[in-house]
Amino acid sequence: MLVVRPAGPADLIALKELAVLSGRGFTSLPENDDVLAERLALAEESFAGTVAPAEAWYTLMLEESDTGEVLGVAGVRAAVGLTRPHFSFRIVTLAQYSPAARTRFDHQALVLVNECGGWTEVGSLFVHPRLRGDGAGSLLARARYMLIGAEPIRFSHTVMAELRGWFDADDTSPFWEGVSSKFYRLPFEQADHMVTATDGQFILDLAPRHPIYVELIDRAASDAIGRVHRDGEAALALLEREGFERSGLVDIFDGGPTVTCARDTLATVRSGRTCRVKFGDVGSAPAALLSTATIADFRATRAAARVDGDTLAIAPATADALRLREGDLIRMSA
């Protein structure tokens, strides 16, 4: 059975393997032992509630319960942009009109902004390639919203997600080559590494101070603005089904889009309900997304369940996977 559980320091080797598999441009999974170890330590503290709620960063692992093999990772960051700015480019329209020439032009431009301060971010979603297409990605993605729905007060009213931007077949980013590299003048890998390994001050130090007119950018770079990486199309579809919409913000390095949704309108949060566990024969009952009702002991899976008034009947094996006993609270979503 596939189970989503909290990550901790013991997951460093597994997380590093997933980071290597994720490939170039997956900024939230750097191939850096120190950064990953810090994140896992913070995850442990976050689930334990020993850090301030706004500083929490919950990392979740997708595990095969029978073997203990880790096959995916996802994260929920309670609030971004508080201790350091969270920069993006906003796509804006600049209108220009000349009465004398009787001419009007609308120009699209990229403007550096810091609008996301305090928003909750869901990200780092990566599933081992051999599990893609069998529902594992959906389970892991939606487990993040079950986490948010368990204790909504810990999270912002606005939830965001940043998707990896487009890379060509030769693994180069047209947006980086055509736009951002002109200002940062670093190899993409070095700049990407510095995002997570430094305080990010270099982003502001070297960023463009004025709007960048899209018409002046080469075609390959402009076509990449807001375009999702081929490996991120399924993730975007999952986000859109959950209620996320494009925000008009794009990543300053690879041009990938930022999507947003109000916390309480997330489909999984809206459809969630809390019941008491009871053991029983679930027979031909449909499968549902199930999780524990608190963050401290959070676990999630997808299994057959039958609603019976204020109780939810599940198989003993499902209860074991979630580490629940009869009478405990459980959350479910269709």
Q: Catalytic amino acids?
A: 229
Which residues, at least 6 apart from 308, have a Cβ–Cβ distance to it below 8 Å? 278, 280
Spatial contact of 123 and 75, defined as CB atoms under 8 Å apart: yes
Helix or strand holding residue 212 (H, E): strand 212-213
Measured CA to CA, the distance from residue 223 to residue 62 in angstroms comes to 35
Q: Give CA separation, 245 vs 101, 161, 226, in Å.
A: 38, 10, 12
DSSP string, 265-332: G-HHHHT-EEEEEEE---TTPPEEEEEESSSTT--EEEEEEEEETTEEEE-HHHHHHHT--TT-EEEE
Helices 136-150 and 233-242: angle between axes, nearest 10 degrees: 40
CA nearest neighbour of 224 among 287, 181, 266, 272 = 181
Which residues, at least 6 apart from 252, have a Cβ–Cβ distance to it below 8 Å? 87, 88, 89, 112, 180, 203, 207
